[in-house]
Structure 1
């Protein structure tokens, strides 16, 4: 039994490596599907803006309200904007938004491609001379790579707005003072690693969703299985990528 699990894991890893090679190779082929890429950026980005806005705003409010009692105890209320800004932009914002997108985007891609696979639409594309990897996979992964960082930046901004709202409700501070304190504490060591993480998160979300949907082969039941597996796998990869990037960043900045 352990040998079978190990062998299945190796086969799955090999399939993912081959799938990645196919994705990378088709990026540079002629006839790139720009229209489909723009459509996917709209579906992934614009269609997710509502939940992202709500999540970012509430995240800022909750983080501010949770930290206020402790900060008041030490007489450090003026540091709340800085604390919210650094914690959200450096770590909490990218991870929370990526996990939400894993649940929404990765599951949607997995279910969509799995449904196309079950109904033999992908095979029909191949027979008709179209390139299903370039049309279905490359466009979705690139759209995730582009839109997940943009959604994270927007959510970070909404978190600061939420933090300001919570601060105003419980204290007396001007918008100029709040956002000056929140933004002046940031430097490139906060922004660049966070941006780099979101790009990797976007790739993981798009790649896992496409791989699970594109390789499903268990009939109609595979649609739900692909969606569920895409969410779980993408979420695990997000946590792993975050841990690796944090470790590498700390070793570079503080070594």
Structure 2
């Protein structure tokens, strides 16, 4: 190998990585556009939308609710530990509300749903792919993306923000319970402080994040499952790729949206 080849090798490697990432982003974007466009053509499958909504929303409620309650309680305990040194315990209600509505409500709900729903979506569609069920839909004159992907994308856009509303309420309730039962707060003062700190912008930004996270989870679950190959091992790889990629993108988009809406 020549001296010039050795020097060029790192740049060639970086170029391949960049091109591979761009190719993957383009493929996912086209897949998303096809999935979203499916709602504008006939036939419509209302029961598929409803089933996807129930699966992503109602059946995810227990894990999201438990996560939110304990997250609110932990924030209250940690805030009290720090604020007590400066005699600023009255700010705990504000901090709990702010942390839950802006960040932890949508982020924790998104991560829980990525683990529960994202993996299930990729495994379901991946199994259909490797057993030729998706190919069979073509023989029935059915568009697989419209039949399998479109309902899940739109269901996620609706279900995850509703779950985050529940997570916000239960997270604040978790902080309230810890503060009243353990830290000596009076219920009236805590509720008044929470109500005074409540801002529509915090809630709306949290719900915007939830819609974005839900769409990303459903999109990646469908994409990796739809394009999986290699039998049962390929289905497992698709499920793993969905959870890992969705979790990373949730944190990345959380930062980007926070910077967009709250940066000074």
Q: TM class by shorter-chain length?
A: over 0.9
Any unmatched runs of 5+ in structure 1?
A: none
| Residue in structure 1 matched with residue 67 of structure 2 by the alignment | 55
| Residue in structure 2 matched with residue 115 of structure 1 by the alignment | 127
- Render the CA deviation track for 1:121-141: whole Å, top value 9, x for unaligned: 111111111221112101111
Between the two proteins, the alignment pairs up a number of residues equal to 252
- Render the CA deviation track for 1:159-204: whole Å, top value 9, x for unaligned: 1111111112224444343222113212132122111111111111
1:91 is the counterpart of 2:103: yes
- The structure 1 residue matched to 2:166, chosen from 142, 154, 158, is 154
Offset of residue 102 of structure 1: 0.9
- What is the DSSP-based 3-state SS (H/G/I as helix, E as strand, rest coil) of the residue aligned with 1:220? helix
Offset of residue 11 of structure 1: 2.9
For 2:125 and 2:254, the matched residues in 1 are separated by: 27
| Residue in structure 2 matched with residue 18 of structure 1 by the alignment | 30
Offset of residue 4 of structure 1: 4.1
Deviation larger for 208-217 or 242-251: 242-251
| Residue in structure 2 matched with residue 217 of structure 1 by the alignment | 229
1:132 is the counterpart of 2:167: no
For 1:17 and 1:27, the matched residues in 2 are separated by: 17
Q: TM-score, with normalisation over the residues of structure 1?
A: 0.93
| Residue in structure 2 matched with residue 235 of structure 1 by the alignment | 247
Please report the RMSD computed on the Cα atoms of aligned residues, expressed in angstroms.
Answer: 1.6
Paired residues for 1:174-185 under 5 Å:
174-185=186-197
| Contact 2:129/2:226 (<8 A) preserved | yes
Any unmatched runs of 5+ in structure 2?
A: 1-11
Look at both structures and tell me which one has the larger radius of gyration over its CA atoms.
Answer: 2
Closer, same or farther: CA 14–216 of 1 in aligned 2, 3 Å? same
Query: What stretches of structure 1 move > 4 A for 4+ residues in a row?
Result: none
- Render the CA deviation track for 1:97-143: whole Å, top value 9, x for unaligned: 11111111111101110011011111111111122111210111111
For 1:81 and 1:121, the matched residues in 2 are separated by: 52
| Contact 2:36/2:153 (<8 A) preserved | no
Closer, same or farther: CA 13–173 of 1 in aligned 2, 3 Å? closer
Q: TM-score, with normalisation over the residues of structure 2?
A: 0.90
